[in-house]
Structure 1
Amino acid sequence: MVKTNPYSCFMQSWTWADFKELQGYKTWRYGLFCGQDSNLERTFDNLVGGCIFYLYPQLGGANILLAAGGAILSPEWAALGMPLLLEAAEQLAYEYSVSFNTSIITLRIEPLWESKPQWLPADFVRSPADLMPTNTLLIDMQLTPDQLLSQMQPKGRYNLRLSWRYGVTTEFRQDDAAIALFYDLFWETSQRQNFFGEPFGFFINLCQTLFPENMAEIAIASWQGETLAAILVIYWGDRCTYLYGGRSVKHPHVMASYAIHWEAMQRAKARGCKIYDFYGFTTEPNHPYFQFSRFKQQFGGVIAKTIGAHDYVFYDRLADTIIGLLEKL
């Protein structure tokens, strides 16, 4: 149910939660099951929704309970299921706050919904910050290769064909040596483009958790024995998501970045994916990721927009936090 839900997200997978625990997060994993009997056997056959809650503990201060990519709910059960998950989150917040002398004051959900459903409680308000991009670029993997080429921008199509002419090759790997190759290019790119780059240990934990489940791969593009580009993609349900990448400044004329994404799309299609998600897109010229977006746009596709993060404040916990702060003055 979780994989097949049209609004499913890899961040709501069991494996991703295992990875986040290695990063210091606490996770709570809830399922909603339909049936008349309270002793009903809980199986995937009667799973109708659920949510994985994440918390990065800030002891002694205010905390936010995160539902990155969630909640996941079957449409026919959503109106009943969301209040149950909200009740579970509020009880979780209370018990954790009491046990660890801290305070969880807010639940922040970040589903992939394209519009705010009527059944979502009105107390959910737009969050001041998003963890995930609200705009992304999606490529339809149900198209044939010729159709994919025809819907690309002319410049993108030309550059891709240049990479073929030069003989750029791409391989897909799931080994520790590939992580190191990927990270060298990722870090080089982050320093050159002046954006935040996660440490090497982050990718070690990510890959060593997701690789055994065949949930991620690293693609490496090379030309004449030199590694020129590398990307990390996540497979979940019918979607392949390009999550991280890096490229060398060497030999830009061979267009390795075009070759690697084209091959990643063909790989995703062969695995049964229907969507290639570029994970983040902007049309604003002053946005720091505008140049990345211009590159992505060369592959065509459609822009998808989600409602963004929404917060539900636990006012009792917030009041306790404020009182505690005042007592310390």
Structure 2
Amino acid sequence: MKDIRQSPQFARFMHDIGWQVEKIDSAFIYLRKFPIFGYFAKIPRLQPPFPFSDINKLIKNKGIFQLKIAPFIKDTDRKFGIYKKQILKNKFKIDMSPFNPTVDIYIDLTQKEDIIFSKFSSAKRRAVRRAIKNGIVIKESDDLESFIQIRKKQYFPAGFLVVSEMKKLWRNFYPKSAVLLLAYPTIQNNNKCQMQAIASICHNKPLAGILLLFYEHVAYYWFASASKEGKKIFAPTLLVWEALKVAKRRGCKIFAFEGIYDGRFPKAAESWKGFTKFKEGFGGEKVIYLENFKI
């Protein structure tokens, strides 16, 4: 299985947001030039055998001042330790600020829906039911602008920074390899603590959303955002449940949550603790990758 970051679609996206794209063997390398310093480069989800000789040639020819790699090696690989020694032997050092997630959660979509749901925590199962009871409705949509507005508000005052990247990602993946799910309130939201949610019905505004990407039978939980009102009535939890079902219907075998907290990097991953707890509530298998490295 090849990671989505090594797909032609992702390479086009990286080009669109200003990265130079090169290729060594079958691996895409992304470079960005900085005045005075030269090029910074990264190779996401690199699979063995590692082309160290070609990498060193590229570093020399391009004047790369730093290159990072994120090996696509799981701790279940019997050569996990061997690969790590091999990388370190070639003068790479462990990167304490990983650019790709080093721990993830995979949900097996080959299971029946009721089995997948039964592996949710009791709190998550209750949250799904409460969201439905609250009248939350999940719809597939092409209304990227509404999702952008949710994310801009969530990341205010820096929210404007997400706009261009999201539009270019959408352009390269939608409709064949992306699905946008939006959570809308309905008139059933009629108790006092949900009045703000009701108000948005009049404007047909979603309260939360998930952007899923697809590549080689894997669904990636790429972007997710929710308003405060949406969180209060459990829209994010229902969205994940619906996303799992959508991914399964599209023939995906794995749902990847795209990163959780990694105790190997406590400082870099500190901000990940909150959403890690959220993701862990859906069951699945924890996957540990080899560390990211830099030279």
TM class by smaller structure? 0.7 to 0.9
1:247 maps to which residue? 226
Say if 2:153 is the partner of 1:188: yes
Residue 284 of structure 2: which of 283, 301, 310 is its match?
Answer: 301
Question: Which whole-Å CA distance do the structure 2 matches of 1:252 and 1:22 have between them?
Answer: 33
CA distance in 2 between partners of 1:300 and 1:24 (Å): 37
- Using the alignment, how far apart are the partners of 2:30 and 2:165 within structure 1? 17
Label 1:289 to 1:128 Cα distance change in 2 as closer, same or farther (>3 A).
closer
Q: What residue is the counterpart of 1:323 in the other structure? A: none
Q: For 1:29-61, what per-residue CA distance to the aligned partner results, in whole angstroms no more than 9, with x for missing partners?
A: 233xxxxxxxxxxxxxxxxxx210111111321
Residue in 1 aligned with 2:13?
Answer: 19
Deviating more after overlay: 289-298 vs 112-121? 112-121
Instruction: State the match for 2:74 in structure 1.
Output: 114
Amino-acid identity (%): 20
Name 2:214's counterpart in structure 1: 235
Report the counterpart of residue 195 of structure 2 in structure 1: none
**1: CA distance, partners of 2:237 / 2:44:** 30
SS at match of 1:110: strand
Deviation by residue 1:76-130 (Cα, 9 ceiling, x = unmatched): xx3xxx2xx322222223222xxxxxx2134321022124352534223312321
Deviation track 1:227-273 (CA, whole Å, cap 9, x = no partner) reads 11111111111211111111112254532111111111001111111
| 2:101 is the counterpart of 1:125 | no
When the two chains are superposed, the root-mean-square deviation of aligned CA atoms in Å is 2.3
Please, which moves more after superposition, 267-276 or 124-133? 124-133
The alignment partner of 2:183 has SS state of strand
Gaps of 5+ in 1: 32-49, 97-102, 314-329
Q: Summarize the Cα distance change of 1:246–1:126 in structure 2 as closer, same or farther, 3 Å threshold.
A: same
Of 169, 183, 188, the match for 1:221: 183
Query: 1:196 and 1:253, CA in 2 relative to 1: closer, same or farther beyond 3 A?
Result: closer
SS of residue paired to 1:307 = coil
User: Is contact 1:283-1:293 (8 Å) kept?
Assistant: no
Q: Considering Cα pairs closer than 8 Å and 6+ residues apart, tell me whether 1 or 2 has the greater RCO.
A: 2
Within the alignment, does 1:292 sit opposite 2:268 as a pair?
A: no
1:1-329 matched pairs, under 5 angstroms = 5=1, 8-31=2-25, 50-70=26-46, 72-73=47-48, 78=49, 82=50, 85-96=51-62, 103-115=63-75, 116=80, 118=82, 120-121=86-87, 122-123=89-90, 124-173=92-141, 175=142, 178-191=143-156, 198-212=161-175, 214-224=176-186, 225=201, 226-250=205-229, 252-282=231-261, 287-311=270-294, 313=295
| Matched AA of 1:87 | S
Residues 216 and 107 of structure 1: is their aligned pair in 2 closer, same or farther, counting only changes over 3 Å? same
AA partner of residue 147 (structure 2): F
Structure-2 change in CA distance of 1:145 and 1:239 (3 Å): same
Could you tell me the TM-score, scaled by structure 2's length? Answer: 0.82
Q: Which residue type is aligned with residue 233 of structure 2?
A: V
The residue identity in structure 1 corresponding to 2:168 is N
Aligned residues: 266
In 2, Cα distance between equivalents of 1:68 and 1:252: 32
If you compute each CA radius of gyration, which structure gives the higher value, 1 or 2?
1
List gaps (5 residues or longer) in structure 2.
187-200
Q: Distance in 1 between matches of 2:99 and 2:153?
A: 24
> CA offset at residue 67 of structure 1?
0.3
SS in 2 for 1:65: strand
Structure-1-length-normalised TM-score: 0.74
